[in-house]
Amino acid sequence: MHNRNAGLVNGALVLFMLAAGAWTLTRIPPGHVVPIHFGLDGRPNGWAPAGVGLFIPPAVGALMCALMFLLPKITPRGANLDRSGSAYGTIWVASTAVLALGQCLVVASTLGYRVDLRGAVPVIVGVLFIVIGNVLPKLRWNYVVGIRTPWTLADERVWDKTHRFGGWVTVLGGGVLLISAALWPHAPKPGLVAGVIGLTATLMVGKSYLLWREQQRAKAS
């Protein structure tokens, strides 16, 4: 997805969140509180006044849109973000889409609909993992988006190899979450979601170090 197209999609998602928040505000009494944070089990565990909570997601989304265009211009190796093209834009759109889903969740809870995310959380995270995993190998060496460890940032070849490895690991993790959601749709899975996220991150960090050490040995020989 070209960065301009990604910006248009992100902008549309922000407008949707803003409109949903404003519409919901007209449907509830003054002084109403809304959920603004949910645990991995899908249950709300944080609250705020409706006039604030309903507009946090669009505000964060607008900030993300601004950062998407600003970061390539102000960060070291920013040109590589432009060269990453579709991968950079896709990651931003996927992140904003998750934020929009969160806004839908806040609106539904505020209007009194029963929301059960026990099956939805692993699906949302699983799809996000698969989308991001498919574009990770296309990310160019940069300081902003990707698997940023001391070893990937120190060596471009380590960056490229780590992202190829991280791509299939992330897709595999997403697949595990989707399969678990299909087989046990109503079972709570906060431990599984946290475990997949933690294991995926650990594997990618560990791989980046091993690749860097291999590079150092090759240079020394």
In the beta sheet, which residues pair with residue 38?
A: 44
Give the model's pLDDT for residue 211: 96
Say what angle helices 86-110 and 3-25 make with each other, to 10 degrees: 10
Q: Dump pLDDT digits (tens) for 45-69.
A: 778 898 888 999 999 999 988 988 8
Whether the per-residue pLDDT at 201 is higher than 90: the answer is yes
Q: Dump pLDDT digits (tens) for 186-197.
A: 666 678 888 999
Give the model's pLDDT for residue 6: 84
Spell out a b/e string for 99-127, using b for 16 or more CB atoms within 10 Å of the CB, else e: bbebbebbbebbeeeebebbbebbbbbbb
The Cα–Cα gap between 2 and 159 comes to: 22
The Cα–Cα gap between 150 and 138 comes to: 20
* 22 contact partners, CB below 8 Å, separation of at least 6: 54
Give the model's pLDDT for residue 39: 67
DSSP secondary structure letter of residue 201: H
In the beta sheet, which residues pair with residue 218?
A: none
Lowest-confidence pick of 21-35, 109-123, 192-206: 109-123
The Cα–Cα gap between 36 and 61 comes to: 15
Q: What is the mean pLDDT of residues 19-29?
A: 92
Give the model's pLDDT for residue 186: 67
Q: Dump pLDDT digits (tens) for 79-112.
A: 898 888 789 999 999 999 999 998 998 888 888 8
Q: What is the mean pLDDT of residues 168-178?
A: 95
DSSP secondary structure letter of residue 141: S
The Cα–Cα gap between 189 and 181 comes to: 9
